[in-house]
Amino acid sequence: MKTFVYMVRHGESPKTEGNERTRGLTDKGQSDTYRITELLKGEEIEVFVSSPYQRAILTIQELARCAGQEIVVFEDLKERIFSNEDSRMPDKELIPLLEKSFSDPNFALTGGESNIVCQSRAIAVLKELLTIHHGRRIGLGTHGAVMTLMMGYYDKQYDLDFLMHTSKPDVYRMEFDDQALVEVKRLWSIR
């Protein structure tokens, strides 16, 4: 029996407001949540889980509401901690850090996580979800780096280049046969 995981990367978030945990969505990010709902409401997703970060929860909230389901938050689905959770790392620092991290998966800044540490904690959750919700459809509110690391665990094509070509929001449907990934389809299209 197939299990489907819908990776929903959050929409646009204000970069200067709140901290990593609390910043929400911009007006565009908010309006994209309705597009996500339209796109996915026919998929009959019954289980909703998310990163604990507001921007990820808010992106799937309307879809979960339409499905009459609660969102279950998993701390270990949060975005990779690049240096700390207090503020967003500027892109001019983030991009070199990502380049270094994808060539050395054990590399971490002081106070931050490596790719390997982030991947291990998120994959532990995903494997548990695939077991508990075997045969069901799971919507997962996520972020660029942790999503790429989860997808890359199953298929090496999901690497830094993939991450750099993703959008906010973005949606990928992963089809599993038990714990094995059989297919990935991008469902989001950029207008």
Ligand X SMILES: O=C(O)[C@H](O)COP(=O)(O)O
Q: Binding residues for ligand X, per CB under 6 A?
A: 9-10, 13, 15, 79, 88, 143-145
Nearest distance from C-beta of residue 129 to ligand X, angstroms? 20
Backbone angles phi, psi at 148, to 5 degrees: -60, -40
Question: CB-wise, 15 or 185, nearer to ligand X?
Answer: 15
83 CA to centre of own chain: 19
Nearest approach, Cβ of residue 147 and ligand X (Å): 7
Q: Residue 94 Cβ, how far from ligand X at the closest point, in Å?
A: 8
Nearer to ligand X, 68 or 165 (CB): 165
181: how many CB neighbours lie within 10 A of its CB? 15
SS3 state of residue 187: coil
- Collapsing DSSP to helix, strand or coil, 66 comes out as helix
CB closer to ligand X, 10 vs 137: 10
Please give the DSSP secondary-structure letter assigned to residue 84.
Answer: -
Q: What are 48's strand-pairing partners?
A: 71, 139
Provide the 3-class DSSP secondary structure of residue 50.
Answer: strand
Nearer to ligand X, 13 or 115 (CB): 13
Residue nearest to ligand X as judged by C-beta position: 144
The answer to whether 98 and 109 are in contact (CB under 8 A) is no
Q: How far is the CB of 12 from ligand X (least distance, A)?
A: 7
Output the smallest distance, CB 79 to ligand X, in A: 5
Give per-residue burial for 151-163: e unless 16+ CB within 10 Å, then b.
bbbbeeebebebb
Q: Which is nearer to ligand X, 3 or 166 (CB)?
A: 166
